[in-house]
């Protein structure tokens, strides 16, 4: 493997297209996932498969993780056969939404083995991951930032948030709480309008040139709610995890977060009813049921 070998662990909705972008940029990419289908897709694009996170870290210089939960990120980095055991890789860039407390803990574990942690959570969904138009929030010391910048610039626009592990994670949690909150409030507003007799498409078109427009009305309603497909590409379980971590972090910092707690509970109900694997646009389905209307157009 050349000096430009990159490891990529977690080849799902986000990690799959992001690893393909690295292949297209000319990097050798060594991949790992627990799903053989996910591996096969990226190997088909030119990646090499490895049997464990340790093996990935033995075959690459920088390893990226795009994994579903903070616990899985921690296990993949520090557990048995983890990245920490692979001698070659010196840097782990975590593009998952992991939250600041796990980020800080894993950074310490890696530092004890002479390896560096880089927070790099992303926003912009599957379309952004495919097209390289994500917002990429990075926190790590400047010297390390200079080494990882050429890699993460393949994913979109970079924002260097600070030096400390976890800072970019805090920003990402704030963003995701806002995105889920916009979806909750927009679902309430649309259910009300439709029940009163307004065509939901007319409502969305009007709101999108008015002061109430937001990421749900501009993106989620036209793509996944009005057509009734509920397939935007972000799982209810992941959104619930993010908003839970956001409210927890706010509590830790002594900042009241009443609206965030309400959004968290709406996600708890959506998950209880439709399951963790449902798309988080199912928040609108919940409102449809409560209001006894269909928001379609």
Residues near ligand NAD, by CB under 6 A? 9-15, 32-35, 38, 66-68, 72, 76, 96-97, 122-123, 125-126, 233-234, 238
**Least gap, CB of 151 to ligand NAD (angstroms):** 17
CB of 204 to ligand NAD, least distance (A): 21
Cα 60–chain centre separation: 23
Catalytic residue among 172, 201, 241, 273: 172
Q: Which of 249, 62, 30, 240 is nearest to 145 (CA)?
A: 62
35 vs 229 by CB, closer to ligand NAD: 35
Distance CA 2, CA 21 (A): 18
Identify which of residues 68 and 222 has a Cβ nearer to ligand NAD in the complex.
Answer: 68
CB closer to ligand NAD out of 68 and 162: 68
User: CA-to-CA distance for 285 and 289, rounded, in angstroms?
Assistant: 6
**CB-wise, 186 or 200, nearer to ligand NAD?**
186
Q: What is 129-188 written as a DSSP string?
A: HHHT-EEEEEES-HHHHHHHHHHHTTTEEEEEEESSTTHHHHHHHHHHHHHHHHHHHHHH
172 is catalytic: yes
Yes or no: say if 139 and 168 are a contact pair by the CB < 8 Å rule: yes
Q: Nearer to ligand NAD by C-beta: 28 or 169?
A: 169
State the minimum distance, in angstroms, from the CB of residue 217 to ligand NAD.
18
Cβ 68 to ligand NAD shortest distance, Å: 5
Q: Which residue is nearest to ligand NAD, using beta carbons?
A: 12
Q: Is there a contact between 165 and 77 (Cβ–Cβ < 8 Å)? A: no
Q: Tell the smallest beta-carbon distance from residue 13 to ligand NAD (Å).
A: 4
How many residues belong to the chain? 297
Helix (H) / strand (E) containing 253 = helix 236-253
Catalytic residues: 172
């Amino acid at each position: 493997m050349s000096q430009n070998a990159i490891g990529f662990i977690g080849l799902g909705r986000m990690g799959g297209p992001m690893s393909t972008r690295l292949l297209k940029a000319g990097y050798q990419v060594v991949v790992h996932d627990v799903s053989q289908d996910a591996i096969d897709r990226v190997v088909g694009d030119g990646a090499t498969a490895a049997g464990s996170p340790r093996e990935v870290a033995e075959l690459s210089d920088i390893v990226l993780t795009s994994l579903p939960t903070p616990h899985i990120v921690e296990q993949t980095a520090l557990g048995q056969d983890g990245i920490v055991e692979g001698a070659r890789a010196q840097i782990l860039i975590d593009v998952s939404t992991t939250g600041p407390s796990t980020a800080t803990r894993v950074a310490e574990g890696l530092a004890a083995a002479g390896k560096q942690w880089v927070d790099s959570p992303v926003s912009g969904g599957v379309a952004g991951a495919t097209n390289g138009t994500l917002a990429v929030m990075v926190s790590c010391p400047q010297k390390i930032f200079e080494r990882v910048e050429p890699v993460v610039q393949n994913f979109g626009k970079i924002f260097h948030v600070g030096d400390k592990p976890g800072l970019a994670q805090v920003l990402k949690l704030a963003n995701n709480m806002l995105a889920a909150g916009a979806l909750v409030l927009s679902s309430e507003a649309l259910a009300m309008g439709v029940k009163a007799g307004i065509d939901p498409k007319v409502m969305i078109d009007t709101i999108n040139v008015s002061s109430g427009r937001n990421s749900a009305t501009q993106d989620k309603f036209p793509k996944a709610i009005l057509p009734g497909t509920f397939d935007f590409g972000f799982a209810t379980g992941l959104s619930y995890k993010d908003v839970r971590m956001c409210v927890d972090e706010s509590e830790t910092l002594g900042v009241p977060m009443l609206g965030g707690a309400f959004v968290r509970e709406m996600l708890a109900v959506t998950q209880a009813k439709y399951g963790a694997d449902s798309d988080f646009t199912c928040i609108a389905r919940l409102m449809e049921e409560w209001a006894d209307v269909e928001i379609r157009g």
